[in-house]
Structure 1
Amino acid sequence: MSKPLAGKIALVAGATRGAGRGIAVELGAAGATVYVTGRSIRSQRSEIDRPESIEDTADLVTATGGQGIPVQVDHLDSDQVRALVERIDADHGRLDILVNNIWGGEQLFSWDQPLWEHSLEKGLHILRLAIDTHIVTSHHALALLIKNPGGLVIEVTDGTAKYNSENYRISFFYDLAKTSVLRMAFAQSKELAPHGATAIALTPGWLRSELMLELFGVTEETWQDALKAQPHFAISETPFYVGRAVAALASDPAVSRWNGHSLSSGQLAQTYGFTDLDGSQPDAWRYVVEVQDAGLPADVTGYR
């Protein structure tokens, strides 16, 4: 099999589960060495208290033919992030791909409480987890990334710049967190361009993450059973779909054409020709606008 990223060094910050795991695995499948970071290890769970671990993700990366290296890091801790980057520098002298996917706010925000009723403590913690972590990581990693031309930064968020600018994302703190990451990618694109590097904001569609599957009481094998409760879940995608989007971007010698852009997994599938694990190409953000938000019955015909 082709390994277009053989010899490339990647850091997927926030790769314990969900999109981060899918991205790390697909980078490994393309031949990259992937540093897999997060707070949850097999012997110690984070505050989210879930069973997934960075060691599990790293093993999956290695199983695909890449090299997965798990490193426990709290990306709010500047010293820990600095030490991580120093280790990557000492080990390889380069960093080619940085994926900022840190989140961790799933259990903190409320969809149905306005700002004045929402827990302020939880809200501010959401912003720290979703925004400060990305800033801390880029602050320490970018100097290494620009040592060689062609570096790529991916800021993972929820929603495209166009969609988020026109739609309220239901919760004040969620809206602010996810929209801020879009702007971070744009700002980094301006600072990185003179150094031959590229920054992109990337959103998956409706993700069949471990948490989402549990919410609906289904597994990846039985996910379509969730359509009884939520028919629009038919447009959902696996975490590996956005992973393939990142691998395609990282393998594209002309990736700088996307510098500063806000992209989606579905959009990039049409551009690069990759599919989800089932061979489909869900285009969730077009579907959300044209079907779900338009109040039409669920029908993915022409959207996957």
Structure 2
Amino acid sequence: MRSLKGKVALVAGGTRGAGRGIAMELGTAGATVYITGRTTRTEVSEYGRSETIEETAELVNNLGGVGIPVQVDHLVPEQVKSLLERIENEQGRLDILVNDIWGGEYLIEWNTPVWKHSLEKGLRMLRLAIDTHLTTSHYALPLLIKNESGLVVEVTDGTEEYNNKNYRLSMFYDLAKSSVNRMAKALAHELSPYGCTAVSMTPGWMRSEIMLETFGVTEENWREATKKEPHFVISETPRYIGRAVAALAKDPDHHRLNGQSLSSGELAKMYDFYDIDGSQPDCWRYLVEVQEAGKPASAEGYR
């Protein structure tokens, strides 16, 4: 496994959640990480949340990497184009692209059929989940393919196998997350002649800032949430998928996984890394074998 010192990464959508965790772990491995998002210390996005790209950059710096925050709305092609021109001018290369743009949490109407779901919110969700990734890839990949062994990670929710078998409680959400898995498969085909690799990757039940807030807990006392939802016992931090992306990026033979749909728990076993509490959650196996099987919540044997 190699260090990422000298490597340049773009974490598109790194303000919070998985993007922040990924940026932090790429920084820990020594990479220079460009972090994009819409919320800065002087401007707040439609989310109305407090996390900023500057905070993420500072976390990267504190862990030994170089964090560079750049405000970008990935639905605006001119802003994405300008971002990539800046990266090329400043670094001359791009080794890792993480497409983690999302922004749809507050748009989902769970367990609501398509004819009752807000059409405006549903179509906005699809634009945030799909158009943003396509726009970013369009402008970023000409720079990435200049270096053999370039890596693209499309971040989603759910493995290809799981999403193909299960309805994700909203047609718009289901389509959004399944589409990202398909994007990675298509990118794998297009990038392969250049020696580059594309995969999709999902965290498990992630203790993002929004999820902790939903349950009224913090990272320090997150287990209190299991009183409301016992299966939250299988949850993981955003750093876990971060360690998955970093391990994959450090693997000189990552092209063998080209086009695959991967999870943080699966890669933890493959590369022998752990979440920040020293555990190794295997969420997607747990969901099928415990939660959906109607068994009592217990993470024994799954973390």
Q: Residues 207-259 of structure 1, C-alpha deviation per residue, up to 9 Å, x if partnerless?
A: 00000000000000010000000000000000000000000000000000110
**Corresponding position of 1:53:** 52
What residue identity is the alignment partner of 2:271?
Y
Take 2:265 and 2:112, find their aligned partners in 1: how far apart are those partners? 31
| RMSD, aligned CA | 0.8
Q: What amino acid is the match of 1:140?
A: Y
Q: Does 1:137 align with 2:136?
A: yes
Structure 1 CA distance for aligned equivalents of residues 28 and 292 of structure 2: 36
TM-superposed deviation, 1:109: 1.0
Correspondence for 2:160: 161
Structure 1 stretches of at least 4 aligned residues deviating more than 6 Å after TM superposition? none
Give 5+ residue unaligned stretches, structure 2: none
The amino acid of 1:240's aligned partner reads: R
Q: Which runs of 5+ in 1 are unaligned?
A: none
Maintained 8 Å contact 1:29/1:61: yes
Please give the per-residue CA displacement for 1:2-57, whole angstroms capped at 9, x wherever unaligned.
97000000000000000000000000000000000000001111000000000000
Structure 1 distance, partners of 2:297, 2:172, is: 28
- Count of matched residue pairs: 303
Whole-angstrom CA distance in 1 between matches of 2:147 and 2:247 = 20
Answering whether residue 285 of structure 2 is matched by residue 265 of structure 1, we say: no
Q: What does residue 242 of structure 2 align with?
A: 243
Instruction: Assess if the C-alpha contact under 8 Å between 1:3 and 1:29 holds in 2.
Output: no
AA at the equivalent of 1:283 = D
Tell me, in whole angstroms, the C-alpha distance in 1 between the residues paired with 2:291 and 2:64.
39
Q: Percent identity?
A: 67
Q: Would you say the 8 A contact 1:3–1:31 is kept in 2?
A: no
Alignment partner, residue 87 of structure 2:
88
* Structure 1 counterpart SS, 2:106: coil
**Which residue number in structure 1 is paired with residue 294 of structure 2?**
295
The alignment partner of 2:302 has SS state of coil
**Aligned-partner Cα distance in 1 for 2:47–2:300:** 37
- Counterpart AA for 2:26: L
Distance, in Å, in 1 between the alignment partners of 2:268 and 2:24 is 17
Structure 1 counterpart of 2:63: 64
- Distance, in Å, in 2 between the alignment partners of 1:243 and 1:99 is 11
* Contact 2:101-2:129 within 8 A present in 1 as well: yes
Contact 1:198–1:260 (CA under 8 A) maintained in structure 2: yes
Between the aligned partners of 2:65 and 2:161, the Cα distance in structure 1 is 35
2:48 aligned with 1:41? no
Aligned counterpart, 1:214: 213
